[in-house]
Amino acid sequence: MAPSATPSRLLAVGALLLAPLGVASFTSPLHVSSRHSPSSLAPPLHVAAASTDYDVVKVDLADGRDYSIYIGSDFSDAEASELLRKHVGGTRVLLITNDRIAPMYLEKYQQLLDGEGIKVDTVVLPDGEEHKTFDCMAMILDRALELGLDRKSTFVALGGGVIGDMVGFASAIYQRGVNFIQLPTTVMAMVDSSVGGKTGVNHPLGKNMIGAFHQPQCVFIDTTVLDTLPDRELKSGISEIVKYGLIRDAPFFEWQEANMDKLLARDPAATRYAIKRSCENKSEVVQADEKEAGVRATLNLGHTFGHAIENGSGYGTWLHGEGVSIGTAMAATMSEKMGWIDAGLKRRIYDILEDADLPVKLPKESPMTIEAFNKLMSLDKKVADGKLRLILLKGELGNCVFTGEFDTDALQSTIEELVADIGA
């Protein structure tokens, strides 16, 4: 199926049905069309510029906080500079990246932002999930204060999810809030973390437990930066792409099944389509539920299990998407145990994750135990009134539930089977 015949922005958000027992059920608006190919839907929204053909996905929010996600490749310097500078409100920019990205892209983006009355200063942080801490994030605040940046300043995040989350959080609390721009450099950040305004840092007792909702002015995605992305990080990001198909977009999942080899081979058209379609899905969900009161929680499929694995194994041991992949497999297993999905769908989920060369179980040397899972999951942000709530799959492909009403025996059995493979 050719990526060129791709859908425009999804026109509806999964309907939120408040069922008995506090169960929130979410049905994909595209699920009813899952027997049709994506080519039967509307063409993509894109802009034909003088030098670049790029897509624009809009995030429509209240109070004039709408913003654009620009998705393209090989932007000319003049065009990239114009797009970025128009989202800088004042005259001062603080450009933040990490010590892995800095040698490759810091000078380029500093030059693109600098000029026409805008002065750009920079901060380079250490790379890695283990540095996603309040102390490391405070380095951004220290630099901003040293430079005397005011409330009209703009922070710019150049990097993956760790940088984006920390810069977003710093911009949310610096002088009670300044503007920021996302320049994602990983698949994970492009399809998920750069969109939607979730920002924060990790705590030794839990992942992303300290943070704020703070939306960017824009998200600028130049897919050519993925040329330097390590294969392991590419695959990690694909786990979040798979998620969208499972929870709300069955045709997209079917497209992935047919095109996973192209995504792994970094085919430009397939990559751009997957990023755009993921952003469309994320945008629709964020527009419906910005602060995660209901439907937005479904974007965390596999994350409760995955965050426990990331934390319990030591931050930095697993990439976020690798933990999510194992967590997604666990959610599928648990859903199948309860009879909420059939064995065939569970097999398809395992197959697509394995086709993406993503993990679905723990290695023999994993420190994870049943006790560790239960303790760490009890600290999850989705716990309410002391009760664990999970995103699980229910029904046909493209449907899920966010619920605290599940079979606890199925949960424990799923955990026990996973850790049994490592002898824990």
Helix H or strand E encompassing 119: strand 119-125
Say whether pLDDT at 3 is over 70. no
Pairing of β 206-213 and β 198-203? antiparallel
pLDDT in tens, 273-308: 999 999 999 999 999 999 988 899 999 999 999 999
pLDDT at residue 190, rounded to an integer: 98
Say whether pLDDT at 114 is over 60. yes
The region, left, alpha or beta by phi > 0 then psi within -120 to 50, assigned to residue 388 is: beta
336 CB neighbour count, 10 Å cutoff = 21
Average pLDDT over residues 217-234: 97
DSSP state of 395: S
pTM over 0.95: no
pLDDT at residue 35, rounded to an integer: 26
Helix H or strand E encompassing 288: helix 268-288
In angstroms, the first-to-last Cα distance of the chain is 44
Using an 8 Å Cβ cutoff, are 403 and 412 in contact?
no
pLDDT in tens, 126-143: 999 999 999 999 999 999
pLDDT confidence bin for 334, thresholds 50/70/90: very high
Say whether pLDDT at 167 is over 50. yes
Reference 337, options 257, 418, 256, 398; nearest CA is 418
- Residue 54 CA to chain centroid, in angstroms? 21
Helix (H, G, I), strand (E, B) or coil at 182: strand
Match 């694909």 to its residue by tokens. 238
How many angstroms separate the CA atoms of 275 and 270, rounded? Answer: 9
CA angle 282, 36, 398 (to 5 degrees): 40
